[in-house]
Amino acid sequence: MDNFDFKAYIADNPLLKEDEGGDINSSQLGSDMSTLANSLDDAIEDQLEKSEEQEGDIKEALDPASLLSYILASNTVVNILSKQAMKIAKKYEWGKGEEAARNIYKFTHELEEKFKSPIRFIVSKFTKDSKKVKTITNSLFVLFLGYLAFHAGGSALKYLKQAKLSAGGIAGLKAALKGKDIVATTQDIINDLA
């Protein structure tokens, strides 16, 4: 570290340079993601085996409502972070960074629409008017999000009563994130009705 030139590093900041590698090789990315998924799977399996050895059986169960709540909450968190990343990238003129954040932001909206697709499919069996299908689908999705928020809020209260502050905080955060989704979807419904 004796020969580190801070001024030269700042002048030639590699973090602010655009990637000169060109497009991402999708086959390499797919291979990397597959390797990552396999290693995560192995790590989770090892951790579960260790837990079973230590405690005998796993005492907590992940019910479908909690699983869906975690998935939707993570989608909301990614949406919020990508929106903020877009603003920051635009402010500092990071070009590809802003584009990447915008693509992630669009992806989260597309993913939310995919969450609605089973509801939309069932509603479309009863009505053919696309505007009504969209409005009813969004309304039912808001009710579903309300149920998940209520479930997460109940879990938060239960954990807080047991003095499990971190678990209560996470459940409370899930409830708050569902509230954000409810407001956004309700705004879509109001816009459709206007």
For residue 57, pLDDT beyond 80: no
Q: What is the pLDDT of residues 106-148, one digit of tens each?
A: 999 899 899 899 999 999 999 989 999 999 999 998 888 888 7
140-187-135-86 Cα dihedral, nearest 10 degrees: -90
Query: Which has more confidence, 57 or 81?
Result: 81
Give me the pLDDT at residue 58, please: 45
pLDDT over 90 percentage in the chain:
16
Structure tokens at 147: 């149920």
Give me the pLDDT at residue 71, please: 83
Give helix 64-91 / helix 130-161 axis angle, nearest 10°.
100
The listed range with the strongest mean pLDDT (58-67, 89-98, 156-165, 179-188) is 89-98
DSSP, residue by residue, the chain: -TT--HHHHHHT-GGGSPPTT-S--HHHHHHHHHHHHHHHHHHHHHHHHHHHHHHSS------HHHHHHHHHHHHHHHHHHHHHHHHHHHHTT-THHHHHHHHHHHHHHHHHHHHHHHHHHHHHTT---HHHHHHHHHHHHHHHHHHHHHHHHHHHHHHHHTT-HHHHHHHHHHHHHHHHHHHHHHHHHHHHH-
